[in-house]
Amino acid sequence: MGKPAVLDQNPVMRHRTTLLAAAFLALAPALAQAAERDPDWPCVQILVPTLSPGQIWSGDAIDGKTDDWRDIPGVEPVLKRILNRRTEAEQEEEAIDRFADGLGPDRNATLTALFAGAFDALNRDRGAAIAAIHRYAHQQRELLDSIDKALTRLQELPADAPEAAPLREEIAWRRRILDERRRYQSALCDQPVQLEQKAGRIAREIAARLD
* Position with higher pLDDT, 26 vs 149: 149
Domain that holds residue 133: 2-207
Q: Could you read off the pLDDT of 31-40 as tens digits, one per residue? A: 344 335 677 7
> Do the Cβ atoms of 199 and 123 come closer than 8 Å?
yes
Considering the chain, what is the average pLDDT of its residues? 84
DSSP-derived secondary structure letter, 60:
S
Phi/psi of residue 166, nearest 5 degrees:
-65, -30
Q: Higher pLDDT residue, 2 or 127?
A: 127
Q: Please give the tally of structural domains in the chain.
A: 1
Residue 20 has pLDDT above 80, yes or no: no
pTM: 0.74
Q: pLDDT value at position 184?
A: 87
On whether the CB atoms of residues 81 and 95 are closer than 8 A, the answer is yes
Contacts of 118 (CB under 8 A, 6+ apart): 79, 82, 83, 199, 202, 206
What torsion do the CA atoms of 190, 195, 197, 200 make, to the nearest 10 degrees? -160
Residue 13: predicted pLDDT: 45
